[in-house]
Structure 1
Amino acid sequence: MGKYFGTSGIREVVNEKLTPDLALKVGKALGTFLGEGRVVVGMDTRTSGEMLKNALISGLLGTGVDVIDIGLSPTPLTGFAIRLYEADAGVTITASHNPPQYNGIKVWQPNGMAYTSEMESELERILEEEKFQQASWDRIGKLTKADPKKEYIKKALEMVELSKSYKVVVDCGNGAGSIVSPYLQRELGNKVVSLNSHPSGFFVRELEPNAKSLSALSKAVKSFGADVGIAHDGDADRIGVVDDQGNFVEYEVMLSLISGYMLRKFGKGKIITTVDAGFALDDYVKPLGGEVVRVRVGDVAVAEGITREKAIFGGEPSGTWIIPQWNLTPDGIFAGALVLEMIDKLGPISELAKEVPRYVTLRAKIPCPNEKKAKAMELIAKEALENFDYKRLIDIDGVRIENDEWWILFRPSGTEPIMRITLEAHTEEKARELMNKAKELVERAIREA
Structure 2
Amino acid sequence: MGGTRIASVSGLRGVVGDGLDPTVVVEFAAAYASGCASGPIVVGHDGRVSAQVFTSAVLAAVTATGRDALLVGPTATPTIGRLVRDQAAAGGIQISASHNPSKYNGLKFFQPEGMVLSAAQGRDVLDRLHRRAFGWASWDALGRVRSLDDPDQSHLKHVLNIVDVDAIRRRKFTVVLDACHGAGGRLGAVLLRSLGCKAVVLGALPDGRYDHPPEPTEANLHAFSAIVPATGAVVGFAQDPDADRLALVDETGRYIGEELTLALAVSRRLAQVRGPLVLNLSTSRVSEDLAVRLGCPVHRTPVGEIHVVERMRAEGAVLGGEGNGGVIDPRVGFVRDSFVAMALVLDLLAETGEPLSQLVEALPKYAMVKDQYPLAQDGSPDGIAALWDKITAAHPEAKADRRDGLRLDWSDRWVHVRSSNTEPIVRVIAESVDSATSRALADQIGRWVTSGGAA
- 1:127 and 2:129 aligned: yes
- 1:300 and 2:306 aligned: yes
- 1:108 and 2:110 aligned: yes
- CA offsets, 1:169-222, max 9 Å, x none? 111011111121111101111111111212222111111112122223221211
| Range with greater deviation from structure 2 (7-16 or 395-404) | 7-16
Deviation at 1:398, TM superposition (A): 1.0
SS of alignment partner, residue 141 of structure 2? coil
Gaps of 5+ in 2: none
Per the alignment, residue 292 of structure 2 pairs with 286
Native 8 Å contact 1:43 1:73 kept in 2:
yes
Per the alignment, residue 309 of structure 1 pairs with 315
Per the alignment, residue 269 of structure 1 pairs with 275
- 1:337 and 2:337 aligned: no
Per the alignment, residue 159 of structure 1 pairs with 162
- The one of 325, 345, 367 aligned to 1:319: 325
Native 8 Å contact 1:368 1:446 kept in 2:
no
- 1:59 and 2:61 aligned: yes
- 1:421 and 2:424 aligned: no
Native 8 Å contact 1:14 1:101 kept in 2:
yes
In the alignment, residue 321 of structure 1 is paired with which amino acid?
A: V
| Range with greater deviation from structure 2 (23-32 or 87-96) | 23-32
- The one of 193, 210, 219 aligned to 1:212: 219
- CA offsets, 1:100-147, max 9 Å, x none? 111111101112211122212211222222232232333222321103
Deviation at 1:229, TM superposition (A): 0.8
TM alignment of 1:134-153, pairs within 5 A: 134-146=136-148, 147-153=150-156
CA distance in 1, matches of 2:128, 2:379: 29
- 1:33 and 2:35 aligned: yes
Native 8 Å contact 2:280 2:302 kept in 1:
yes
TM alignment of 1:402-421, pairs within 5 A: 402-421=409-428
CA distance in 1, matches of 2:439, 2:336: 34
Deviation at 1:408, TM superposition (A): 2.1
Per the alignment, residue 78 of structure 1 pairs with 80
Number of corresponding residues: 447
TM-score (norm 1): 0.93
Per the alignment, residue 229 of structure 1 pairs with 236
Deviation at 1:33, TM superposition (A): 0.7
CA distance in 2, matches of 1:71, 1:359: 40
> Structure 1 residues 57, 299: closer, same or farther in 2, change over 3 A?
same
Native 8 Å contact 1:23 1:53 kept in 2:
no
CA distance in 2, matches of 1:44, 1:434: 36
SS of alignment partner, residue 121 of structure 2? helix
CA distance in 2, matches of 1:382, 1:248: 37
Native 8 Å contact 1:74 1:237 kept in 2:
yes
TM-score (norm 2): 0.91
Deviation at 1:354, TM superposition (A): 1.2
CA distance in 1, matches of 2:123, 2:62: 18
- CA offsets, 1:9-45, max 9 Å, x none? 2111123322222222233222321152211111112
Per the alignment, residue 51 of structure 2 pairs with 49
| Range with greater deviation from structure 2 (215-224 or 168-177) | 215-224
SS of alignment partner, residue 36 of structure 1? coil
Native 8 Å contact 1:282 1:292 kept in 2:
yes
- CA offsets, 1:227-255, max 9 Å, x none? 11111011111111111222111333332
Native 8 Å contact 1:370 1:417 kept in 2:
no
Superposed CA RMSD in Å reads: 2.3
Per the alignment, residue 248 of structure 2 pairs with 241
Runs (4+) of structure 1 moved beyond 6 Å? Answer: none
CA distance in 1, matches of 2:264, 2:251: 15
In the alignment, residue 306 of structure 2 is paired with which amino acid?
A: V
SS of alignment partner, residue 34 of structure 2? helix
Deviation at 1:433, TM superposition (A): 4.7
Native 8 Å contact 2:75 2:183 kept in 1:
yes
| Range with greater deviation from structure 2 (414-423 or 67-76) | 414-423
Native 8 Å contact 1:161 1:188 kept in 2:
no
SS of alignment partner, residue 206 of structure 2? coil
CA distance in 1, matches of 2:27, 2:391: 44
Native 8 Å contact 2:390 2:453 kept in 1:
no
TM alignment of 1:369-408, pairs within 5 A: 369=376, 371-408=378-415
- The one of 94, 98, 101 aligned to 1:99: 101
SS of alignment partner, residue 249 of structure 1? strand
Deviation at 1:155, TM superposition (A): 3.4
> Structure 1 residues 281, 7: closer, same or farther in 2, change over 3 A?
farther
- CA offsets, 1:314-367, max 9 Å, x none? 111111121111100111123212211111112322111112122232333343
In the alignment, residue 239 of structure 1 is paired with which amino acid?
A: L
- 1:358 and 2:365 aligned: yes
Deviation at 1:226, TM superposition (A): 0.7
| Range with greater deviation from structure 2 (428-437 or 381-390) | 428-437
CA distance in 2, matches of 1:371, 1:439: 16
- 1:19 and 2:21 aligned: yes
> Structure 1 residues 183, 435: closer, same or farther in 2, change over 3 A?
closer
CA distance in 2, matches of 1:273, 1:410: 16
Identity of aligned residues (%): 31
Deviation at 1:420, TM superposition (A): 3.0
In the alignment, residue 394 of structure 1 is paired with which amino acid?
A: D
Deviation at 1:294, TM superposition (A): 1.1
CA distance in 1, matches of 2:56, 2:200: 34
Native 8 Å contact 2:13 2:422 kept in 1:
no
